Amino acid sequence: MASARILLVEDEAIVAMDIQNSLKGLGYAVPVVASSGEEAIEELSRTLPDLVLMDIMLQGDMDGVEAAELIRERFDIPVVYLTACADDITLGRAKVTEPFGYILKPFEERMLHITIEMSLYKHKMERKLRESEQWLSTVLRCIGDAVVATDAAGHIKFMNPIAEALTGWKQEQALGMDLTEVFNVMSETGSTEHLMLVARDGTQTPIDETTTPIWNEIGQLTGSVIVFRDATQRTRAEAEQKLRLLQLQDALTKVKMLGGFSPICSSCKKIRDDEEYWKQLEAYLQKYSHADLGHHLCPECAQKFYSELYEKDN
């Protein structure tokens, strides 16, 4: 495994040489020593070290804290402070730059070694975590379903673009808000099967929704993920299917009535319907079938009622 490369920033030449020798004795590479904050920024772009060992009190217009702040903003390189200053004001300024370590002079080589190794390891793990978060965020933003993630207290930590579109809230606006303020749902039936999402502007959208809790390795709840999708097309298809089923049931009922036993009067030829009313056969057929009925005379009736016309035609 290659030795870590360390940029040493120290303005006292003798102290810098002593620290450089200690670092080399511990197995680290020290390609250059910078004596000012400005020089350190320049050398970073050229040498790309694995860690910066930074003295706080430096000569020049830029002290170690200012240099560390620029390094944090521009480079993904951990900084460890090495200084004789331990007052509260200096420590407060240094903390803002989020250093990976803080070593007071004079120091022992063992403490220097431990601090550097812990800082390198911490930075490596943080980089992996950021990469995983970026990868996961990209995946969640690309999927077709809406996704909202919360912490254990139910405060929103993430929303993908689909969730933004359906709720009417941008992630920047919703971060830290209570889930119920953004993900406002109501149920028409009191169950989770027919949910209606009420967007920020009052628009209502039927949705299908699944909530999954997030547990850590010791069984503690750390948050939840809500996945939902627009169910407008599904509910419309279900309504159309239900209507077709009702129409089919109605048609089958009518067919069954026509196919069952229906008493007919032997004298007037009226027929009794299912409501116990006696109706003309014509009216009965029009009610219980889809047949189109027309009025005509059969040959026997034509001869009976219009015998003269019937004889001439024949």
Contacts 24+ apart (CB under 8 A), 279-284: none
What is the Cβ-side half-sphere exposure of residue 66, based on CA atoms within 13 angstroms?
11
pLDDT at residue 292, rounded to an integer? 66
Predicted confidence band at 107 (pLDDT cuts at 50, 70, 90)? confident
Mean pLDDT of 287-305: 68
Predicted confidence band at 294 (pLDDT cuts at 50, 70, 90)? low
Q: Cβ(206)–Cβ(231) under 8 Å?
A: yes
Mean pLDDT of 194-219: 90
pLDDT at residue 240, rounded to an integer? 86
- List, for residues 13-30, the tens digit of each pLDDT value: 898 999 999 999 999 999
**Average per-residue pLDDT in the chain?**
84
Mean pLDDT of 226-255: 81
Look at the chain and count its residues.
314
Mean pLDDT of 155-160: 93
Does the pLDDT of residue 190 top 70, yes or no? Answer: no
Tokens for 6? 């360390």
Q: Cβ(53)–Cβ(8) under 8 Å?
A: yes
Phi-psi region of 12 (alpha: psi -120 to 50; beta: other; left: phi over 0): beta
Does the pLDDT of residue 188 top 80, yes or no? Answer: no
pLDDT at residue 1, rounded to an integer? 45
Lowest mean pLDDT segment, chosen from 111-125, 237-251, 275-289: 275-289
Question: Which residue has better confidence, 52 or 194?
Answer: 52
Does the pLDDT of residue 257 top 60, yes or no? Answer: no
Q: Cβ(210)–Cβ(227) under 8 Å?
A: yes
pLDDT at residue 288, rounded to an integer? 66
Does the pLDDT of residue 118 top 70, yes or no? Answer: yes
pLDDT at residue 213, rounded to an integer? 92
Question: Which residue has better confidence, 310 or 125?
Answer: 125
Query: Please, what are the domains in the chain?
Result: 6-136 (3.40.50.2300), 144-230 (3.30.450.20), 237-313 (no CATH)
pLDDT at residue 121, rounded to an integer? 93
- List, for residues 88-103, the tens digit of each pLDDT value: 777 788 888 888 888 8
pLDDT at residue 311, rounded to an integer? 62
Does the pLDDT of residue 289 top 70, yes or no? Answer: no
Residue ranges in the chain assigned as alpha helix (H)? 13-25, 37-47, 64-74, 88-96, 109-142, 161-167, 171-174, 179-182, 232-259, 281-288, 299-305, 307-313
Mean pLDDT of 55-74: 87
Rounded (10°) angle between helices 64-74 and 37-47: 30
Mean pLDDT of 253-281: 69
Mean pLDDT of 120-135: 87
